[in-house]
A and B are shown apart, each in its own frame.
Chain A
């Protein structure tokens, strides 16, 4: 499997009437997770989150693609 770059947020058993619904819900939860944290705490939480998601994905070829794209254009 290759890295998915098209919209992919969803939840089994739930129907979203609007295409932007699941992505916006994720984004809100992401920002909410950082509420009341200092910048340093937020950076730590972000790092933990990346590690959790990376382990869940597992496939190193997918992760390498993501690492490369994340770094692209950032100098």
Chain B
């Protein structure tokens, strides 16, 4: 069936342990080379840490699977060095149409937020994302990817983790200081450690098909409630790269997955949906069920769970891969500080706390979407249909139509790593907020704010005229860069002013930074390595910046 994509086959090489027979110890082992495990491995390699990445397979994901990659994910992928590849191959869409029975109820235009580098989302088959991430991972000589290496035993000890690994040439064991479990919803690490994952199972089945369409079809997202060609259920149509369209049919719990997957069953469904004339070919088909659940803690000693291994959501809103990649964004800089002895290991508990906060938000939103799309009672169905019939004419009801709330990052407002505001600010860039982007000029050239921060602690100090930064402050800025946890100060200024005594200057020529960050002369933000706001003040004070950095790294108890 498959024709638009050639699956790469990655070489398996016998690991050195099989010949030397000696057991080695590695600082970091990532288990699972899906999108989440790959992002973790690349992020850690970028931090300069040697990484061993184990995967039981030797190719990328089969079928489109994850489809929508949201803005925050694209920003993280930019930081990891694959943003451009993903965005240029991906398909952007803005128009979404919602149908109820045989008529269009309304459509929306998701215009991208002005003056942000990345759009709200792009559509791309998961195999492309994985292929680009593997190519990126292979650029690091200190990142060892071992395909066809399956972890079959784990012994988590207080001082390290023992793993047994099976390969086509036999088994070996290794020790790790830290293990990142990115081995998916059915995580064998989680099972071998007898850890629970609790939540709700939804009694429903969905058929997903990748279809190559020969005729023109608009790049829009179409969502049908109760359409004539599939009565009583929902259907979603999405465009992906290479003229491959992704179609999701709700089947109901009674459906027989094996029967439904047969082409003679699938093709008439698609034909009924598209109309008879349109030519298409079936590339891939699968049936899925889903759960909304999470582990009670994502950190278990030296084993850290990320992505689907730690939490699962319904697919509505694309909160699976997107939230998993955000897990790694949150975790990797913390792990680097702990490994370097610059932060206590309780900083890793904040990974669990912050990402559980985010997971609960994702589970809540995807559960609400699921309950709207597949009502569980007659009354719930009546309300759903009432919303859809009102939505045609009344904006308030359109806002209630919930066919998936697209993945957006959580505002980590409850995090203990935040330093609470002492002064008043307008806008949303509160401590714990994922940063808003803004267009800037650096050395006279166009640039983006998010590309200037990340991977380290940064202070953004807004100054009307950087030339006026006095010698005392310049000295303090130099000292901050020499701290055990270095803090780089960047000046943001409304107008070009060249260099300012060797300090880096970001020119907020459009005024978007000042607007989004409620910046006035003196306004100072402390930014975490994962591009979240840690603290902010109305004036520059090195002692406050140091204290907030200590708090953001769990160095204050």
* Residues of A that sit less than 8 Å from B by CB: 4-8, 17-20, 23-24, 27-28, 30-31, 34, 37, 39, 42-43, 46, 69, 73-74
> Given the complex of chains A and B, what is the CA–CA distance between A30 and B379 in angstroms?
10
In the assembled complex, the CB of A9 is this many whole angstroms from the nearest CB of chain B, namely 8
Given A24-B405, A27-B372, A28-B371, decide whether A34 and B396 contact each other with a Cβ distance below 8 A: no
- Beta-carbon contact of A28 and B396 below 8 Å: no
Q: Does B402 sit within 8 A of A, measured CB to CB?
A: yes
Contact B395–A5 (Cβ < 8 Å):
yes
Give, as a whole number of angstroms, the nearest-CB distance from B375 to chain A.
Answer: 8
The reply to whether B396 and A7 contact each other, CB–CB distance below 8 Å, is: yes
| 5 tightest Cβ-Cβ pairs between the two chains A and B | A42-B379, A7-B399, A5-B394, A34-B379, A6-B395
Q: Which residue of B lies closest to A74 (CB)?
A: B389
A-B contact count (CB 8 A): 55
Residues of A within 8 A of B378 (CB): 39, 42
A59 to B125, CA, bound (A): 54
State whether A18 touches B395 (Cβ < 8 A).
no
Residues on the A chain within 8 Å of B196, using CB: none
Query: What would 15 more interface pairs be, CB under 8 Å, given A19-B399, A24-B365, A27-B387?
Result: A5-B395, A6-B396, A7-B396, A7-B399, A8-B396, A20-B405, A24-B368, A27-B383, A31-B375, A31-B380, A34-B377, A46-B379, A69-B390, A69-B394, A73-B389
Nearest CB of A to B357, in Å = 13
**Chain A residues whose C-beta falls within 8 Å of the C-beta of B405 in the assembled complex:** 18, 20, 24
Q: Which of B363-381 contact A (CB under 8 A)?
A: 365, 368, 371-372, 375, 377-380
Kindly state the separation between the CA atoms of A74 and B394 in the bound complex, as whole angstroms. Answer: 15
Closest to B409 in A: A17
Of the residues A8, A30, A39, contact of B383 by C-beta under 8 Å: A30
B379-393 CB contact bits vs A (8 Å, 1 = yes)?
110010001011000
- Taking CB atoms, residues of chain A closer than 8 Å to B375 are 31
CB pairs A–B below 8 angstroms (6 shown): A17-B428, A24-B368, A24-B402, A24-B405, A31-B379, A43-B379
Nearest chain A residue, comparing its CB with the CB of B411 = A17
Binding site for A on B (CB under 8 A): 365, 368, 371-372, 375, 377-380, 383, 387, 389-390, 394-396, 399-400, 402, 405, 408, 411, 428
* Cβ of A56 to closest chain B Cβ, rounded Å: 17
Q: Pick the contact of B396 from A5, A30, A73 — CB < 8 Å? A: A5
Q: What A residues does B371 contact at CB under 8 A?
A: 28, 31
CB distance from B48 to the nearest CB of A (A): 34
Q: Would you call the interface of chain B mostly helix, strand, loop, or mixed?
A: helix
With both chains docked as a complex, state the minimum distance between the C-beta of A26 and any C-beta of chain B, in angstroms: 8
CB distance from A70 to the nearest CB of B (A): 8
Q: Is the CB of A23 within 8 A of B377?
A: no
Which of the residues A6, A24, A34, A73 comes within 8 Å of B380, measured between beta carbons? A34
Q: How far is the CA of A27 from the CA of B368 in the complex (A)?
A: 8
Known: A17-B411, A27-B368. A39 touches B399 (CB 8 A): no
Cα-based distance from A37 to B387 in the complex (angstroms): 21
CA distance A19 to B383 in the complex (A): 21
| B436 → A minimal CB distance (Å) | 12
Docked CA distance A67–B161 (Å): 66
Contact B395 A37 (CB under 8 A): no
Expressed in whole angstroms, the Cα–Cα distance for A43 and B408 within the complex equals 36
B389 contacts across to A, CB distance below 8 A: 73-74
Bound-state Cα–Cα, A52 to B106, Å? 31
Question: Which residue of chain B has its CB nearest to the CB of A4?
Answer: B396
* Beta-carbon nearest neighbor of A35 in chain B: B377
Whose C-beta in chain B lies nearest to the C-beta of A36? Answer: B377
A27 touches B379 (CB 8 A): no
Residues of chain B within 8 A of A8, CB atoms compared: 396
Residues of B within 8 A of A42 (CB): 377-379
How many angstroms from the CA of A25 to the CA of B389 in the assembled complex? 20
Contact B400 A23 (CB under 8 A): yes
A1 CA / B72 CA spacing, docked (Å): 41
Residue of A nearest to B386 (CB): A70
Chain B nearest Cβ from A10, distance in angstroms: 12
Within the assembled complex, what's the spacing in Å between the Cα atoms of A27 and B394? 16
The CA of A39 and the CA of B378, in the complex, are separated in Å by 7
Q: How far is the CB of B418 from chain A (nearest CB, A)?
A: 15
Residues on the A chain within 8 Å of B383, using CB: 27, 30-31
For B411, the chain A residues whose CB sits under 8 A away are 17
Q: With a CB–CB cut-off of 8 A, which chain A residues contact B402?
A: 20, 24, 27
Residues of A within 8 A of B380 (CB): 31, 34
Residues of A within 8 A of B399 (CB): 7, 19-20, 23
What is the chain A residue whose CB lies nearest that of B399?
A: A7
CA distance A39 to B390 in the complex (A): 22
Cα of A18 to Cα of B390 in the assembled complex, Å? 22
Q: Which residues of B contact A4 (CB under 8 A)?
A: 396
User: How many angstroms from the CA of A75 to the CA of B246 in the assembled complex?
Assistant: 37
Known interface pairs A24-B368, A27-B372, A27-B402; A7-B395 also in contact (CB < 8 Å)? yes
Q: Which residues of B contact A46 (CB under 8 A)?
A: 379
Question: Judging by beta carbons under 8 Å apart, are A28 and B368 in contact?
Answer: yes
Residue of A nearest to B389 (CB): A73
B380 and chain A: residue at smallest CB distance: A31
Residues of A within 8 A of B408 (CB): 18
A20 to B411, CA, bound (A): 15
The answer on a CB contact under 8 Å between B379 and A37 is: yes
Residues of A within 8 A of B387 (CB): 27
How far does the Cβ of A25 sit from chain B's closest Cβ, in whole Å?
8
